[in-house]
Amino acid sequence: MINLFISGSDSGKAQDGSCKLKFIKLNLPENYENTNDNNKLPESIKIEARHRGSVLIVRTSKFGNKKGAFYLKGDFNTDYNLVERKVIDNYLNKISNTRKCWLSGDRMW
Protein backbone atom coordinates (compact mmCIF):
# COMPACT_ATOMS: atom_id res chain seq x y z
CA MET A 1 0.00 0.00 0.00
CA ILE A 2 1.30 3.45 -0.88
CA ASN A 3 1.26 5.68 2.19
CA LEU A 4 2.45 8.90 0.59
CA PHE A 5 3.03 10.33 -2.88
CA ILE A 6 4.97 13.56 -3.37
CA SER A 7 5.70 15.33 -6.61
CA GLY A 8 8.95 17.20 -6.10
CA SER A 9 11.13 15.43 -3.55
CA ASP A 10 13.68 12.69 -2.92
CA SER A 11 15.67 11.29 0.00
CA GLY A 12 18.94 12.79 -1.21
CA LYS A 13 21.72 12.06 -3.69
CA ALA A 14 24.18 9.19 -3.66
CA GLN A 15 26.76 11.45 -5.35
CA ASP A 16 27.03 13.91 -2.47
CA GLY A 17 26.40 11.37 0.30
CA SER A 18 23.08 12.91 1.39
CA CYS A 19 21.18 9.68 0.60
CA LYS A 20 22.03 7.12 3.25
CA LEU A 21 19.72 4.44 1.78
CA LYS A 22 20.73 1.41 -0.22
CA PHE A 23 19.27 1.74 -3.68
CA ILE A 24 19.01 0.17 -7.09
CA LYS A 25 18.46 2.00 -10.36
CA LEU A 26 15.97 0.53 -12.84
CA ASN A 27 15.37 1.72 -16.37
CA LEU A 28 11.90 2.84 -17.29
CA PRO A 29 9.76 -0.06 -18.53
CA GLU A 30 9.10 -0.21 -22.25
CA ASN A 31 6.24 2.08 -23.36
CA TYR A 32 6.22 3.92 -19.99
CA GLU A 33 5.37 7.60 -20.44
CA ASN A 34 7.66 9.69 -18.22
CA THR A 35 5.56 12.83 -18.16
CA ASN A 36 4.64 15.32 -15.44
CA ASP A 37 1.03 14.15 -15.36
CA ASN A 38 1.82 10.42 -15.10
CA ASN A 39 1.78 9.50 -11.40
CA LYS A 40 1.39 5.75 -11.88
CA LEU A 41 3.89 3.14 -10.83
CA PRO A 42 4.38 0.28 -13.29
CA GLU A 43 3.57 -3.17 -11.89
CA SER A 44 7.10 -4.42 -12.64
CA ILE A 45 8.57 -1.66 -10.45
CA LYS A 46 6.16 -2.44 -7.59
CA ILE A 47 7.02 -6.15 -7.75
CA GLU A 48 10.76 -5.44 -7.54
CA ALA A 49 10.21 -2.96 -4.68
CA ARG A 50 8.23 -5.56 -2.70
CA HIS A 51 10.96 -8.14 -3.29
CA ARG A 52 13.68 -5.79 -2.01
CA GLY A 53 11.64 -4.35 0.86
CA SER A 54 12.04 -0.81 -0.49
CA VAL A 55 10.26 1.95 1.41
CA LEU A 56 10.80 4.61 -1.26
CA ILE A 57 10.53 4.70 -5.04
CA VAL A 58 11.81 7.75 -6.88
CA ARG A 59 11.27 8.54 -10.55
CA THR A 60 13.67 10.98 -12.15
CA SER A 61 12.45 13.29 -14.87
CA LYS A 62 13.51 13.48 -18.48
CA PHE A 63 16.62 15.56 -18.97
CA GLY A 64 18.13 16.20 -22.36
CA ASN A 65 18.40 12.86 -24.11
CA LYS A 66 18.02 10.86 -20.86
CA LYS A 67 14.65 9.18 -20.38
CA GLY A 68 14.75 9.15 -16.60
CA ALA A 69 14.75 6.12 -14.31
CA PHE A 70 13.23 4.59 -11.20
CA TYR A 71 15.26 4.26 -8.00
CA LEU A 72 14.17 1.74 -5.38
CA LYS A 73 15.50 2.90 -2.02
CA GLY A 74 15.74 1.26 1.36
CA ASP A 75 15.28 -2.34 2.45
CA PHE A 76 13.52 -4.33 5.17
CA ASN A 77 15.76 -2.71 7.83
CA THR A 78 14.99 0.88 6.83
CA ASP A 79 13.02 3.06 9.26
CA TYR A 80 10.03 4.36 7.30
CA ASN A 81 9.46 7.35 9.62
CA LEU A 82 13.01 8.65 9.13
CA VAL A 83 12.70 8.39 5.35
CA GLU A 84 9.30 10.07 5.37
CA ARG A 85 10.65 12.99 7.41
CA LYS A 86 13.64 13.42 5.07
CA VAL A 87 11.41 13.37 1.97
CA ILE A 88 9.00 15.92 3.48
CA ASP A 89 11.89 18.17 4.60
CA ASN A 90 13.37 18.03 1.09
CA TYR A 91 9.96 18.85 -0.38
CA LEU A 92 9.54 21.87 1.89
CA ASN A 93 13.08 23.03 1.04
CA LYS A 94 12.40 22.52 -2.69
CA ILE A 95 15.18 19.95 -3.13
CA SER A 96 14.82 17.64 -6.16
CA ASN A 97 11.65 19.40 -7.30
CA THR A 98 11.52 17.63 -10.68
CA ARG A 99 11.28 14.14 -9.19
CA LYS A 100 8.32 12.11 -8.03
CA CYS A 101 8.40 9.75 -5.10
CA TRP A 102 6.20 7.15 -3.50
CA LEU A 103 6.56 5.82 0.06
CA SER A 104 5.22 2.56 1.50
CA GLY A 105 5.48 1.76 5.19
CA ASP A 106 4.36 -1.86 4.80
CA ARG A 107 6.46 -2.30 1.61
CA MET A 108 3.54 -4.03 -0.10
CA TRP A 109 3.14 -1.50 -2.92
Over residues 3-13, the mean pLDDT reads 92
Q: Which amino acid is at 86?
A: K
Over residues 26-54, the mean pLDDT reads 96
Task: Look up the pTM and report it.
Answer: 0.93
Three-state DSSP class for residue 25: strand
Please tell me the distance from the alpha carbon of residue 52 to that of residue 108, in angstroms, as a whole number: 10
Asked if the model's pLDDT at residue 62 lies above 90, the reply is: no
Give every strand in the sheet of 69-73, ordered side by side. 4-7, 100-103, 56-59, 69-73, 23-27
What's the pLDDT band for 16 if we cut at 50, 70, 90? low
DSSP letter assigned to residue 66? B
Among residues 4, 11, 77, the alpha carbon closest in space to that of 41 is found at 4
Q: How many CB atoms lie under 10 A from the CB of residue 25?
A: 11
To the nearest whole percent, how much of the chain has pLDDT over 90? 80
φ and ψ at residue 57, rounded to 5 degrees: -120, 130
Please tell me the distance from the alpha carbon of residue 90 to that of residue 85, in angstroms, as a whole number: 9
What's the pLDDT band for 15 if we cut at 50, 70, 90? low
**Domain boundaries of the chain, sorted by first residue:** 4-103
Over residues 48-73, the mean pLDDT reads 93
**Of the ranges 5-9, 20-24, 55-59, 84-88, which one carries the lowest mean pLDDT score?**
20-24
Over residues 67-90, the mean pLDDT reads 95
